[in-house]
């Protein structure tokens, strides 16, 4: 009953305030707590559909905002969108072009389609997080920041450790807007360090 009430509470609020999904409140909480996005940052949001994080990002920065998803995102003033797979070099090059070569922040609130098998779903979520990290490492400027949704499970510490190899500050955060009982958790990483060829950690 409580879980249903929580879901309805944020869904109703999102509809009332004009957000495309309740997930908007998660990013608002993350930014309030960790100040990941600055007012001139160029930001890329991965798995951006339907676009609630893009709506929130517009309130944080005057920089270029780019949403990438396999599905089309309904047009939004002040936001550029790409339909495609962010793991491909073609999409990454398109992102660079739209951002004029400078990406300050990468965000990812994407989830795999859930099967109901907990261990399988968690493994797929970790794999998605690894793909998002690989994208961020490829495209972020030095000193850039990264937010990524993941799910707690036996493989999570490995992903967390991998993120720590590339960022000076890495923390986890669970927004109040997350559904009660959900295993989701956000990795908030700041100050990207581009590794030299052959360098470790």
Its pTM stands at 0.89
Lowest average pLDDT, out of 85-89, 103-107, 113-117, goes to 113-117
Alpha-carbon dihedral angle through residues 74, 109, 131, 84, given to the nearest 10 degrees: 0
d(CA 73, CA 49): 5
Q: Phi/psi at 142 (nearest 5 deg)?
A: -55, 135
State the pLDDT at residue 144: 98
Compute the average pLDDT of residues 137-156. Answer: 95
Lowest average pLDDT, out of 111-115, 128-132, 139-143, goes to 111-115
Percent of residues, the chain, with pLDDT higher than 90: 72
Q: Spot the catalytic one: 9, 58, 149, 183.
A: 149
pLDDT of 84 over the 90 cut: yes
CB 37 within 8 A of CB 60: yes
State the pLDDT at residue 6: 44
Q: Is residue 136 exposed (0-12), middle (13-18) or buried (19+ Cβ within 10 Å)?
A: buried
State the pLDDT at residue 197: 57
The pair of three-digit structure tokens given for residue 114, joined into one six-digit string: 């859930």
Tens digit of pLDDT for each residue in 158-184?
A: 999 999 999 999 999 999 888 777 889
From edge to edge, which strands make up the β-sheet containing 80-83? 80-83, 65-69, 43-46, 103-108, 140-151, 184-192, 167-173
Q: 186 by DSSP, 3-state: which?
A: strand
The pair of three-digit structure tokens given for residue 123, joined into one six-digit string: 């493994």
State the pLDDT at residue 177: 85
Tens digit of pLDDT for each residue in 20-45?
A: 677 899 999 999 999 999 999 999 99
Q: How confident is the model at residue 46 (pLDDT cuts 50, 70, 90)?
A: very high
Task: Judge whether 149 counts as a catalytic residue.
Answer: yes
What domains, with CATH codes, occur in the chain? 2-192 (3.40.50.150)
Q: 160 by DSSP, 3-state: which?
A: helix
Task: Report the chain's mean pLDDT, rounded to a whole number.
Answer: 89
d(CA 64, CA 41): 7
């Amino acid at each position: 009953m409580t879980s249903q009430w929580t879901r309805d509470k944020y869904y109703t609020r999102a509809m009332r305030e004009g957000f495309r999904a309740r997930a908007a409140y998660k990013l608002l909480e993350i930014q309030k707590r960790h100040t990941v996005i600055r007012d001139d940052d160029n930001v890329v949001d991965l798995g951006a559909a339907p676009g609630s994080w893009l709506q929130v990002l517009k309130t944080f920065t005057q920089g270029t905002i780019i949403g990438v998803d396999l599905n089309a995102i309904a047009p939004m003033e002040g936001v550029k969108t790409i339909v495609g797979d962010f793991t491909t070099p073609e999409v990454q090059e398109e992102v660079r072009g739209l951002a004029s070569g400078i990406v300050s922040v990468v965000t990812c609130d994407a989830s795999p389609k859930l099967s109901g098998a907990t261990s399988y779903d968690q493994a797929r979520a970790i794999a998605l997080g690894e793909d998002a990290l690989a994208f961020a490492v490829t495209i972020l400027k030095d000193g850039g920041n990264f937010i990524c949704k993941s799910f707690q499970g036996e493989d999570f510490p490995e992903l967390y450790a991998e993120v720590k190899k590339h960022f000076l500050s890495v923390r986890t955060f669970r927004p109040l807007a997350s559904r009660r009982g959900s295993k989701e958790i956000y990795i908030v990483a700041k100050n990207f360090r581009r590794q030299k060829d052959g360098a470790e950690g």
